[in-house]
Structures are given as C-alpha cells and as structure tokens.
Amino acid sequence: MNKKPNFDINMTQPTPFDFVLDYLPTGITVKRMFGMHYIYLGKRILLILRKSQKEPEWNGIWIATSRHHHESLKTNIPELGAFFLDENDRHSNWLLLKDGAEDFEGAAIKICELIAHGDPRIGKVTEKPPL
C-alpha cells in the first residue's frame, strides 16, 4: 500500500510511529498541533500520535472512539487501555495504545486495518476538517 497522505507544511518534528501511515486509507490528513500529530479522514479525527518527554505515560497512539465501544475494541485489541483525564479515574472517550505495550506495532497495525475497513467504532466527527 503506497499512500500519499496530506501533511501540514509546518511539521518540523518527525511523525512518531510513522509506520502506521502505511496502513491507513488514502486521503488521510496529518496535522501537527500541541506537540502531537492528529490524523483525520475528512471531518473525522481518527488517531493522535504522541511521543514526548513530558508526561510519557500518555505516549503512544490515542484512538478516537466512544465509551460504549471500549469493551468491544479491547476484545479485538487487548493491548488497548483506558485513557484517564485525571487521578479520579474518570474515563474519556479515547483509548490509548501505550508505546511500551507488548506487540505495540502489531496492535497499531490492527487499529489501522479496522480504520481501513471503515470500522464505525473508530473516529469522531469534528466541526471543521483540518486545514
């Protein structure tokens, strides 16, 4: 699969975990914001790729989804974990594949394959498509 995603022209840092771009559908857009790389398909945010020395416990691939899809996605990809917003264990809609997870690359490829096959559990519509 030789894909040509759209990239933000101001991306000065390399995209972490860029192997995932080879497994995503044609037409994705990668936008760098807030030190992370956001991946969109049309108006849907799909993933965020994060690798930072600040708060390394949040490094990995963030999966845009809804809470009611968490269990089924974790059944398909057991390496996925909850994404906590604070110490009170308040779950967000996002799931996290931590960069230190066992078989990180294999799990990331499975996520991309679900996206490539149009799995409705992954992605959230945003107000505007990325620029």
Q: What is the pLDDT of residues 44-83, one digit of tens each?
A: 999 999 999 998 999 999 999 999 999 999 999 999 998 7
pLDDT value at residue 10: 45
DSSP symbol at 101? S
Given a cut of 60, whether residue 92 has pLDDT beyond it is yes
Mean pLDDT, the chain, whole residue set: 87
Q: Is 130 or 121 the better-scoring residue by pLDDT?
A: 121
- Residue by residue, DSSP assigns 67-118 as GGGHHHHHHH-TT-EEEESSTT--EEEEEEEETTSTTHHHHHHHHHHHHHTT
